[in-house]
Structure 1
Amino acid sequence: MAVALSLLALAVAAAALVVALRNGVARSRKTDGDLPADAAGLRREVAALRAEAVGALRHLAVVRYDAFEEMGGRLSWSLALLDDAGDGVVLTSIRGRNEARTYAKSVSGWASDQELSPEESEAVAHARMARL
């Protein structure tokens, strides 16, 4: 019984993959006409895409922790959302026994004008190393 269910699941997954691949090929054929045919045109297109991505929030990291000794489960967290220049925001949620508080601190050039907690600094450091 378990083997039959496993084979059925494998067959369904394979069918879904075939459908997804066919749809992807069909979509790529539709958009090929929009791309420049020469190398210089492709270089301009890539440069334009890179220019658009400069301000994208591509450096992300979450640090979870216990803000209070009596609280377990690492329910508090700090989330860094930064672009390539290190500009963005750090969001922090501190979970207490009866309430949760949320804070936002702006970040510019991988640093903040406001003092960052150790967990917020850790989130920024991890985000600096990470890139989507």
Structure 2
Amino acid sequence: MSLDPTARDILVIVSLVVGVLGFVVALVAFLWIRKARRDLALLAADGDNDSFIGAVARKTEEVQALRSEVDDLAALLAQTRTELSDAIRHVSVVRYDAFGDMGGRLSFSAAMLDDGGDGLVLTSIHGRSETRSYIKGVKSGQSEASLSPEELQAISFALRGRSA
């Protein structure tokens, strides 16, 4: 059977197009397989220095060690906060003139309290010829001893974190 020249030319062109498409598909498949082999070789490399899995394992161990350190630090922080609540951290000083004939606000009451309002009030009364000092214990912001208005003010300011 013989084909006319135009039909033969069309058949040659179609064959050529199919051949080129087959070559392109083969080239893409070759490149894809080559990349897959390279990735597989990286994952399964011998020796921890070149192995992706070894590197991931090392980083996982480092992260676990860091998490352990963070947990230890969190426990230490909680312990420090507990201990710090008993420390005298709230201090306030109120200065005043104890006597009307003296100026300069040389007398003072200083409250020194912890987070629970426990501590002391130190008062120094300055007069012309003498100075007297008093210390009164404070429990939960209150004292068994009678407190002057300035001492109450110093305790109030210390509990609010203010100073006069």
Tell me the TM-score normalized by structure 1: 0.70
Greater RCO (CA < 8 Å, at least 6 residues apart): 1
Name the structure 2 match of 1:72.
103
Name the structure 2 match of 1:97.
128
C-alpha deviation, 1:39, in angstroms: 2.2
Give the AA of the match of 1:121: L
Q: Identify unmatched segments of 5+ residues in structure 2.
A: 1-66
1:39 and 2:61 correspond: no
- Give the distance between the partners of 1:69 and 1:37, measured in 2 at CA: 64
Would you tell me which structure has more helix in proportion to its own residues? Answer: 2
Name the structure 1 match of 2:161.
130
Give me the identity figure in percent: 51
Work out the number of aligned pairs and report it. 97
CA RMSD of aligned residues (A): 1.7
C-alpha deviation, 1:109, in angstroms: 0.4
1:106 and 2:137 correspond: yes
- Give the distance between the partners of 1:120 and 1:114, measured in 2 at CA: 11
Give the AA of the match of 1:89: L
1:119 and 2:119 correspond: no
- Secondary structure of 2:152's counterpart equals helix
- Secondary structure of 1:120's counterpart equals helix
User: Whose Rg is larger?
Assistant: 2
- Give the distance between the partners of 1:73 and 1:118, measured in 2 at CA: 19
Tell me the TM-score normalized by structure 2: 0.56
- For 2:79, which of 22, 27, 48 is the aligned residue? 48
Name the structure 2 match of 1:82.
113
Would you tell me which structure has more strand in proportion to its own residues? Answer: 1
C-alpha deviation, 1:57, in angstroms: 0.3
